[in-house]
Structure 1
Amino acid sequence: MGNPYDPYGQQPGYGQQQPGYGQQPPAQPGYGQPAQPGYGQPPAQPGYGQQPPAQPGYGQPPAQPGYGQQPPAAQPGYGQPPAPPAQAGYQEVHHHHYGSTGQLAEWGSRAGGYIIDILIIGAPAGVLYFIAGLLAGSGSGGAAVIALLFYLIGFAVYVGAFLWIVYQEGTTGQSIGKRQMGIRLVSAQTGQPIGFGMAFVRKIAHFLDGILCYVGYLWPLWDDRKQTFADKVCNTLVVRN
């Protein structure tokens, strides 16, 4: 005779105990939930048609990250040095550098140095010429001789000052005016002073800068290498210290 409390007519097996009064029967796994293995029992194996979790085989690469995921950073291999950090992109800064010659001098600095040199060369000679002119205008014979003497002395002072300026530029790259403005004259090829002879030739070549309304002296304002015509002839640059 069936148990009225067993809707399916199932009886406990032989040797099995019924739950006592007030005790709950053992929990059965719900629909779709796997039963948990007992203590000491191996985990349940996947059923027919189910795939086990993929493990990378021997010698096979690990699984690739899914779409939209970042791959892990590559680690350097054994015995290989770590990759250097990424360098910032090259930023081109136009400071007009040419090898070891330094930064090109601006036109204002060049003009200031040139004016100082002209004053050093011309001021003493100008004073002597002024005195000579006063003596020559007196109409006296003796005064005319003295005036001629002053003219000669003034010319000698002018030539001497001119050659001294050329010597300073050729051997050190700096006249007094250039030294005061913090600039110097160098060879475009070596970055070194050009010597007395080439400095003298450069002074003579300034004649080309005076042609066409002195446009050669203004040429450094728009020239890429900030050169006058004399600089281009002698292949020289004026740079900052």
Structure 2
Amino acid sequence: MSFGDPNNPYGQQGQPGQQQPGYGSPQGQQPGYGYPQQAPQGVPQQGYGYPQQPGQPYGAHPQQQPGHGSGMPELAHWGLRFGGKLIDGLLYLVPYVLFAFGANSDGGAAPALTIVGSLGMLAIFIWQVIQEGSTGQTVGKKVVGIRLLRESDGQPIGGGMAFVRTLAHFLDNIACYIGWLWPLWDQKKQTFADKVCSTVVIKSQ
């Protein structure tokens, strides 16, 4: 058996022009350690109302445009919104009773009750606005399972904008309160205040 014998496994030489695979180079196999890995397929996209990745349109899948209907959950119907508003109103009941009792009494404790009632209602209002702006939920919204979010990207609107939206409810009141009923037939289930502030109310559960 000669060194150049083709049957000699130790003497086989590469053919001219044929590149021999080097150590660690891929040969039709999966890339080894240190090679770029492909992104896993089928990873679910983040839904509406969750923080988005930098540089990626919010709630948009590849080859899709962001916006209304792109990953947005079901909008809250009028009954849920009314229920949340009713529960929020009940929070003011105790301080309002104290305020009214003090305002309509002549006793020595009347001024104190008026002040306590007024401060109580103010504290509840400020706390509710902050909660709605930072989390999208007041106490009432949390109980009925709905959330207020910015329409463009599904994020909480912030305390300042939540306060502006509260003032914008004036528009819902001036036309015989028709703005409060507008979600019954509106495509996006928005009140006039929602349209002005570009907000939507979605189901969170």
Match of 1:111 in 2: 82
CA distance in 2, matches of 1:187, 1:130: 37
Match of 2:144 in 1: 181
Specify the SS of the correspondent of 1:185. Answer: strand
Match of 2:110 in 1: 147
Specify the SS of the correspondent of 1:193. Answer: coil
- Gaps spanning 5+ residues in structure 1: where? 1-96, 137-142
Specify the SS of the correspondent of 1:238. Answer: strand
Match of 2:5 in 1: none
- Count of residue pairs the alignment pairs up: 137
| 1:41-190 aligned within 5 A | 98-120=69-91, 122-133=92-103, 135-136=105-106, 143=107, 145-190=108-153
Specify the SS of the correspondent of 2:200. Answer: strand
Match of 1:91 in 2: none
Specify the SS of the correspondent of 2:175. Answer: helix
Counterpart code for 1:118: G
Please point out which of 162, 167, 186 is paired with 1:199.
Answer: 162
Please point out which of 192, 200, 205 is paired with 1:237.
Answer: 200
Match of 1:35 in 2: none
CA distance in 2, matches of 1:100, 1:195: 22
Report the TM-score when normalising by structure 2: 0.64
Encode CA deviations 1:81-108: one digit per residue, 9 max, x unaligned: xxxxxxxxxxxxxxxx722331100000
Contact 1:100 1:191 in 2 (8 A): no
Specify the SS of the correspondent of 2:105. Answer: helix
User: Larger C-alpha radius of gyration, 1 or 2?
Assistant: 1
Q: What displacement does 1:134 show? A: 5.2
Match of 1:92 in 2: none
Match of 1:68 in 2: none
Counterpart code for 1:154: G
Counterpart code for 1:185: L
RMSD: 1.4
Specify the SS of the correspondent of 1:132. Answer: helix
Q: What displacement does 1:150 show? A: 1.3
Contact 2:95 2:117 in 1 (8 A): yes
Contact 2:81 2:141 in 1 (8 A): yes
CA distance in 2, matches of 1:101, 1:198: 21
Specify the SS of the correspondent of 1:135. Answer: coil
Report the TM-score when normalising by structure 1: 0.54
Counterpart code for 1:164: W
Match of 2:57 in 1: none
CA distance in 2, matches of 1:205, 1:193: 17
Q: What displacement does 1:129 show? A: 2.1
Contact 1:101 1:188 in 2 (8 A): no
Moved over 2 A (4+): 97-101, 133-136
Contact 2:103 2:111 in 1 (8 A): no
Counterpart code for 2:142: R
CA distance in 1, matches of 2:139, 2:84: 8
Encode CA deviations 1:159-203: one digit per residue, 9 max, x unaligned: 110111111110011111001111000000010111100001000
- Gaps spanning 5+ residues in structure 2: where? 1-67
